[in-house]
Amino acid sequence: MTAQLIDGKAFAATVRASVAEHVARLKSDHGITPGLAVVLVGEDPASQVYVRSKGKQTLEVGMKSVEHKLDAETSEADLLRLIDQLNNDDSIHGILVQLPLPKHLNEDLVINAIHPSKDVDGFHISNVGLLGTGQKSMVPCTPLGCLMMLRDYHGSLSGMDAVVIGRSNIVGKPMAQLLLNDSCTVTIAHSRTRDLADVVRRADIVVAAVGRPQMVPGDWIKPGATVIDVGINRIDKPEGGTRLVGDVDFESCAAVAGAITPVPGGVGPMTIACLLANTVTACCRANGLEEPQGLTA
Ligand code: NDP
């Protein structure tokens, strides 16, 4: 391996420490405790793990954590009523509805019912519009985490060629927008992109958010490029059991890249750290206080 490892786990610990410092100051100087409410509908096992982890980390940085676990059969009206209650609760500064929702619930409707100022996932249509026009918004956590790591490694990203593979609303599109806002020349690739290898080879920065295990091989990577692997895929091990891999083939990419994030231990830990960062930012904005530096885009 020649690439420098971008250690998301260690970076996330520094983000959490900075959040904890701000939370302590909000409490001591203003008597305010930032609060995050997480709503889980149904019993999807992966979602349950995420929600547990979010709750634990929220408490660890000194914030208030509220969990609402609703039955899989919960009606849209009941869910919207809960969101309305949380929108009007001054002790709650961030609201996150864990996705995916059961099929009978309209995700767009539910997400857009969250007040944009409390939308710590950054998925509300107002926040998407604000980000798209370069205005202050709540920024989706996973792309925000990627951006923080890229800025930390490179300093300025201005003028760099970036390729984002994937165009989902939660990762690919906001990632591309953030890179554009940082003055990269951005290409968004997707399943219909012709000659993906050729497109990726032009990139100084590659962000892979596809959901296909080890899809990007090392010979697609420009020597010295920075590779951010968002993918989380569970594959079978030859000797039995399973392991997590990303969307890039780590071994071959690390042999060519200048820097690379591992899976696990790269983007994943940064996502929850950025959720905490967004909550403290939302709390400062709600109270008309100066927001923390370095914790948002
Ligand atoms: P989606 O399935 O919503 O989007 C995948 C994107 O990849 C689509 O835009 C799709 O293109 C594109 N794609 C699929 N196949 C190809 C291909 N062969 N070549 C090029 N592009 C392709 O996934 P998400 O964005 O939600 O997630 C992507 C990955 O990131 C997943 O592994 C997910 O688990 C992981 N993830 C990790 C997080 C973290 O915290 N680390 C958080 C969120 C996601 P098209 O639009 O044309 O179909």
| Domain assignments of the chain as residue spans, ordered by start | 29-117, 141-268
Mean pLDDT for 232-257 is: 97
> Measured from the CB, is residue 187 less than 6 Å from ligand 1?
no
Q: What CATH architecture is 29-117?
A: 3-Layer(aba) Sandwich (3.40)
* CB-CB contact of 154 with 284 (8 Å): no
CA distance 279 to 37: 10
**Ligand 1 binding pocket includes 210 (Cβ within 6 Å):** yes
Q: How far is the CA of 281 from the centre of ligand 1 (A)?
A: 27
Determine if ligand 1 sits within 6 Å of the CB of residue 262.
no
pLDDT at 274: 98
Ligand 1: which atom is nearest the Cα of residue 246? 32
Per-residue pLDDT averaged across 17-28, rounded?
Answer: 98
Residues 6+ apart with CB under 8 A from 108: none
166 Cβ below 6 A of ligand 1: yes
Tens digits of residue pLDDT in 172-222: 999 999 999 999 999 999 999 999 999 999 999 999 999 999 999 999 999
Tokens of 250: 């780590």
* Equal fold, 29-117 vs 141-268: yes
pLDDT digits (tens, 9 = 90+) for 35-45: 999 999 999 99
Ligand 1 centroid–CA 172 distance in Å is 7
Regarding pTM above 0.95, the answer is yes
Taking the C-alpha atoms of residue 276 and residue 225, their distance in angstroms, rounded to an integer, is 30
Task: Find, among 166, 178, 237, 155, the residue nearest to 207 by Cα.
Answer: 166
What values do phi and psi take at 67, rounded to 5?
A: -115, 130
Ligand 1 mean position to 168 CA, how many Å? 6
Question: pLDDT (tens digit, 9 = 90+) per residue, 127-173?
Answer: 999 999 999 999 999 999 999 999 999 999 999 999 999 999 999 99
**Residue 228: its pLDDT value, please?**
99
234 φ, ψ (degrees, to nearest 5): -100, 125
CA distance 37 to 86: 8
Eight-class DSSP state of 100: S
- Residue 51 reports pLDDT greater than 80: yes
pLDDT of 1 strictly over 80: no
Index of the ligand 1 atom closest to the CA of residue 231: 32
Does residue 237 carry a catalytic annotation? no
Q: 22 by DSSP, 3-state: which?
A: helix
Percent with pLDDT over 70 in the chain: 100
Judge: domain 141-268, CATH 3.40.47.10.
Answer: no
Among 49, 177, 191, 245, residue to substitute to test ligand 1 (most atoms within 8 Å of Cβ): 191
Q: Whose CA is nearest to atom 8 of ligand 1?
A: 166
Listed in order, strand segments (DSSP E) in 107-150 are none
Residue 189 Cβ inside 6 Å of ligand 1? The answer reads yes
